[in-house]
Chains A and B, each alone.
Chain A
């Protein structure tokens, strides 16, 4: 069975500092994708970054990077130079890259950026 685990219910970070949000996963699929989404208080889910299981390089999108360690089954999100607007709920998700691509989500980490 597939599973996503986010062990940090809440995190604080000082503005302009970097922060790492943890995500571990379990799957028997060989081909899968890992995703991070941001959910601000408005409720909308904002796509941040994607890492494919066969991608050898860690994904990066602006201030977001994904630290992918396949052997450890971890896909941590690193946010550099945190901004006040980064305060939100962050969800890690996994989907198969064959078939219907449906996701399972982790329980989320609430990030608060301090001024």
Chain B
């Protein structure tokens, strides 16, 4: 149980275009979903926290107009990287938690490369 999927697993896009990444909890309803960014050989950095039907809460220094988060349902959250630039190239990971459990369940990640 507690499986989280992400789609796509990797994507290459041209500078200036937008990319949407989906995060789904497959067998449970997520109370909260989280989006992280991880640079090579570095730790995970929390970008934002989202709850279904509410606006996402962004961490300090994360541009909310650039990284649009939509939490449409209890099982789906999307991250859209708008007007992507090469410096946005990174590994993006989502996670979800569920009522009664403290641990977060992570998706497999999406590797974004902007050319």
List residues of A whose CB falls within 8 A of some B CB: 33, 35, 37, 42-47, 50, 52, 91, 95, 97, 100-108
Contacts and interface: CB of A to CB of B under 8 A. Distances in A.
Given A102-B34, A103-B104, 9 more contacts: A35-B104, A43-B108, A45-B109, A47-B106, A91-B44, A95-B102, A101-B32, A103-B34, A107-B43
B61 to A, nearest CB: 14
A7 to B, nearest CB: 14
Interface of B: 32, 34, 38, 42-44, 46, 49, 57, 91, 93, 95, 97, 102-109, 111
A6 to B, nearest CB: 9
Contact of B46 (A35, A52, A102): A102
Given A43-B108, A45-B93, A100 B32 contact: yes
B104 A42 contact: no
B46 A44 contact: no
- 10 smallest CB-CB distances across A and B, nearest first, come from A45-B106, A43-B109, A33-B102, A44-B108, A105-B43, A105-B44, A107-B43, A47-B103, A50-B103, A100-B49
Give the most central of B32, B95, B102: most A CB within 10 Å: B102
Nearest to A45: B106
A107 B45 CA distance: 10
Contacts of B97: 101
A42 B44 contact: no
25 contacts: A35-B102, A35-B103, A37-B106, A42-B108, A43-B91, A43-B93, A43-B108, A44-B106, A45-B93, A45-B95, A45-B106, A50-B102, A91-B44, A97-B102, A100-B32, A100-B49, A100-B57, A101-B102, A103-B34, A103-B44, A103-B104, A104-B46, A105-B43, A105-B44, A107-B42
Contact of B109 (A44, A50, A100, A108): A44
A106 B43 contact: yes
Contacts of B46: 102-104
